[in-house]
Structure 1
Amino acid sequence: MKHLKRAALLASTMILGTAGLSSAQAGVMTFFNDSAGFEAASVGEDLDNINFDDITSGTNIAGLVLKGVTLTSPDGNTLDVVDADDTFTPGDTAGINSLLATSGSMILSPGGIELVPGSALAERDSLEITFAEAVSAFAIDILFQSYDLAPFVSIRAFNAEGTRIYFENVPGSGLGGGAPADNVFFGIVSDDMSTNIARIVITESDGNASFPDSNIGFDSIQFSSLSGDAVPVPAALWLFIAPLAGALGLRRAKRKIA
């Protein structure tokens, strides 16, 4: 029953839209800055999370397995867990821009606490997330050193067969260079076994030093439990069930009035 409820909410989200930025590609629904929409679409899932707050500051977790999830750097950078308050932008802008945690105080900051400009290795902040088994729901907070109109960050998702099932660029804020630090929530939900998510690749490609905006970090990773038994139900099924559900609800309402 919980799977049917989840599919119904996912279908209604696809039809009616959400308060944040959401979009649908074949078999998946995505959410930018719309955590409520993600939670509604993933209803019935047993969500697990990684918020880094139980990891000692300065630990490089590249290649480690956390709760069945392996985090790696496509660029060969370190994946350092640090206190968000310790991050800083060096040079004339020191102390102005730092990364902002979304849960607790610890975050993942590729390259460490110093938010150096491109194109140093420590600035290359791409992240690859691989699940021990494909999941039907995933979310993450992307932390921007400076969130302006051109983030130069893209997200790709792959299924268990290695087929790309999703690609999109992270939308900008509309602000010019020198914008303050900010965070972007991203969530993705599959409604079909063939589009369950086995791997996520977040690519950061701002390699210049024009503004202190080349660095990103990560926090609050959520994903459907790897030990759960949740099976996605096609959202299209709701298109058939909705009229029946509405009719039954109306009939019950009439009985109560009578």
Structure 2
Amino acid sequence: MKIVCLGSGNVATHMANAFNDNGADIAQVWSRDLENAKALANDIGARAISDLKEVDEHADLYLIAVKDDAVAKVSKALKNVNGLVVHTSGATGMDVLQDHKQHGVFYPLQTFSKSQPIDFIHVPLCLEANTEENMDLLQLAAMKLSPLIYEVDSKKREVLHLAGVFACNFVNHMYQLSHQILKKNELDFEMLRPLIMETAVKVQEALPEDVQTGPAIRNDKKTILKHEELLKKMPHLQEIYKNLSNSIKKTH
């Protein structure tokens, strides 16, 4: 399978490497910044380009892995390509690619950082295609990377992406705020890592609502007031604490 990778960021880097490791031919890597394209292309033996007019017209798969706001622009700039054009966005509908006869979505439900290795065998791949034939092609491509393959349409993928923001991005922001609180009081974030790990382990085997702990679910008013007092000089965090505590109370 010949693939053109359009993008050189976190998602593009991990997906291009995963496909390359599993026998696909990454013919080209495109980026607006040629140096970024070269950095990825050199790792996988591909040709780096920065002009979309140079895109190989005879690839099997065109993988658009760019920022959500840039997907439509990149798609429209692909002229006369004969293969299947897909994007990797969770929050962008498939219809943004409708100018292409063959199009679809190849969305990996995972958080990516260039410095952190990812084993795709554990990554859910959410697929959508404009025809059954194209879905078959996407499934064959997906099977190279992961056994966790799901057919998910654009509306449901948007919901999945939203849930992912709550489960990943917002949670990580909570870690950042925890670090801020600790640092202000000369305490080491390292002490929280076992707690974070145990919380993550619990939800691998149980639903979150079944393992919720803390003062809010116990309606421990004295502790809640004490925490709010500690955050008095950090009103932004105090407001977040109140809102989340109230949300836990309402949920349970």
Range class of TM-score, shorter chain: under 0.3
Q: What TM-score comes out, normalization by structure 2 length? A: 0.26
Structure holding more strand per residue: 1
Name the larger-Rg structure. Answer: 2
Q: What TM-score comes out, normalization by structure 1 length? A: 0.26
Larger RCO (CA within 8 A; separation ≥ 6): 1
Structure holding more helix per residue: 2
